[in-house]
Amino acid sequence: MGFIQTHRKGPTGIGKTLEDLLGIIENNIAGPDFSIYELKSGRKDAASMLTLFTKTPQPKGAIKDLLNTFGYQQRKRVVDQKQLTLTGEELSELKIPIMDKELHGTVDSIKPNSVGLKLELRNNKIIIGNDKGIDAYYDEEALKPAFEEKYHKLVYVLADSKIEKDVESFWYNEAYLLEGFSFEKFSKLVQEGKLKVDLRVGHYPNGRLHDHGTGFRIFPRHLPECFEKIDRIL
């Protein structure tokens, strides 16, 4: 069919247009689009990365240790604290400034990031390497269910895109049936710098830890390389 004008402006236009062409009615119901296969599409030349899934690193408390060690000042909060007498009467009200930390940034295997974190592969683990002795990693037992919960069986369609007179058009000309998680392939993508980890952690206004979603990210064109079984159908 060649290039087809988008049916919706914005990032979601590629998926909406493809669904319309295939006669899929848009809905918010969780479940497969084709029998047991989910449908997903992507622009070949996309400059932004796709979040595969979010997963807090192991062991328990690792993300808190990373924040405490490598985090930087996020903002200043002022907490009201009342001083009481021995009889319980309020004597005065104090304004106590509290500094929160945040840690936002991308980690890959190519070079350490601005705070010195770098992805490494050791002992069948993807490790968030650092020189402070913080233990933070992902193993196959943790990654496999996280990946397959979102990408069990997938029909993945790639398209060339162009914009003329402020209107985007798509040419859907590459498609795959994808199935199964491969830790070996996943690790290889990390080693090649194609797969990265985004750390997005800070604090809620009340001071509690807030993990915004530590996620594995990849450019859409490399998504098929994550799977054990790759069957090109177009």
Round to whole Å and give the CA distance between 3 and 164: 11
**pLDDT mean for each 10 residues of the chain (234 residues):** 96 95 76 74 93 95 96 66 53 55 95 97 96 97 93 94 97 96 96 97 85 93 95 96
- pLDDT attached to residue 86: 54
- pLDDT attached to residue 75: 57
Round to whole Å and give the CA distance between 23 and 113: 45
- pLDDT attached to residue 27: 65
Round to whole Å and give the CA distance between 104 and 198: 7
User: Phi and psi of 88, rounded to 5°?
Assistant: 90, 5
The closest alpha carbon to 209, from 27, 50, 65, 39, belongs to: 65
Residue with tokens 């592969």: 121
- pLDDT attached to residue 59: 97
- pLDDT attached to residue 21: 96
53: β partners = 216
- pLDDT attached to residue 181: 94
- pLDDT attached to residue 207: 78
- pLDDT attached to residue 73: 84
The model's pTM? 0.82
- pLDDT attached to residue 152: 83
C-alpha count within 13 angstroms, C-beta hemisphere, residue 147: 25
Query: Structural domains in the chain?
Result: 4-73+101-232 (3.30.70.3570)
- pLDDT attached to residue 83: 53
Type of residue found at 75:
R
Please say whether the beta carbons of 24 and 33 come within 8 A.
yes
